[in-house]
């Protein structure tokens, strides 16, 4: 009888996390797709969408804090793993709310690459535990599962501001303030 194999997410250390070596956990991949035409002409939009990659994962972590989410990056691709008490339907609705908010903020209706599945969480330099050795599959980012289970997620196509992420206009203002503060700090300081 063969056991079901799970794709694996690796970490350098599992110590200090709420996840044990070889634990099997609900996993999320969420990446907003940029409007390529707008990205070519609008540099601020391009920077904003790059910043939203991290901000979306931070919003998911803070929203589902009781499920103790952990951001794990493999091959420079971020994933979130959760404890088993997470309701992935609610996570999906929250991701759709993020898309609606980006639509409200930028005026462009976005889609996202989305995937939810169960993965095994392992420490790189440790052998799998004897009871889970038969369940160890390929590394998630290098497996066919990563491409096969990937789906396109759309929002509700309504402009809704839920206060989840930084609005586009506010991002531009913050960026201008940061550049102004940097130029102010470059001035010579004279002490009397």
Output 50-56 pairs: Cβ under 8 A, ≥24 positions apart.
51/166, 51/171, 52/102, 52/165, 53/78, 55/165, 55/166, 56/30, 56/32, 56/95, 56/98, 56/165
Residue 3 banded pLDDT, cuts 50, 70, 90: confident
Q: What pLDDT, on the 0 to 100 scale, is given for residue 186?
A: 56
Kindly report, residue by residue over 86-126, the tens digit of the pLDDT. 999 999 999 999 999 999 999 999 999 999 999 999 999 99
Write down all domains in the chain, each with its CATH number in brackets. 6-182 (3.30.70)
Kindly report, residue by residue over 126-169, the tens digit of the pLDDT. 999 898 999 999 999 999 999 999 999 998 888 888 889 999 99
Residue 1 banded pLDDT, cuts 50, 70, 90: very low
In this model, does residue 72 exceed pLDDT 80? Answer: yes
Q: What pLDDT, on the 0 to 100 scale, is given for residue 176?
A: 87
In this model, does residue 38 exceed pLDDT 80? Answer: yes
Residue 49 banded pLDDT, cuts 50, 70, 90: very high
Nearest to 80 by CA among 28, 131, 127, 119: 28
Q: Which residues of 36-54 are buried (b: 16+ CB within 10 A; e: fewer)?
A: eeebeebeebbebbeebee
- By the 10 Å C-beta count (0-12 exposed, 13-18 middle, 19+ buried), 117 is classed as middle
Q: What pLDDT, on the 0 to 100 scale, is given for residue 144?
A: 93
């Amino acid at each position: 009888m063969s056991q079901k194999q799970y794709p694996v997410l690796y970490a350098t250390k599992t110590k200090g996390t709420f996840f044990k070596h070889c634990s099997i956990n609900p996993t999320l991949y969420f990446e907003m797709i940029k409007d390529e035409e707008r990205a070519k002409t609008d540099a601020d939009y391009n920077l904003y969408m790059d910043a939203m990659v991290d901000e979306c994962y931070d919003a998911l972590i803070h929203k589902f804090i009781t499920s103790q989410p952990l951001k794990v990056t493999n091959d420079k691709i971020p994933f979130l793993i959760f404890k088993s008490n997470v309701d992935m339907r609610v996570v999906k609705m929250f991701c759709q709310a993020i898309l609606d908010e980006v639509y409200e903020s930028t005026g462009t209706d976005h889609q996202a690459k989305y995937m939810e599945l169960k993965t095994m969480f392992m420490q790189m330099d440790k052998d799998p535990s004897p009871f889970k050795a038969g369940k160890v599959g390929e590394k998630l980012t290098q497996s066919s599962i990563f491409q096969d289970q990937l789906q396109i997620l759309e929002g509700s196509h309504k402009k809704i501001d839920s206060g989840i992420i930084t609005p586009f206009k506010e991002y531009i203002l913050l960026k201008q303030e940061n550049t102004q503060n940097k130029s102010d700090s470059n001035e010579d300081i004279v002490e009397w």
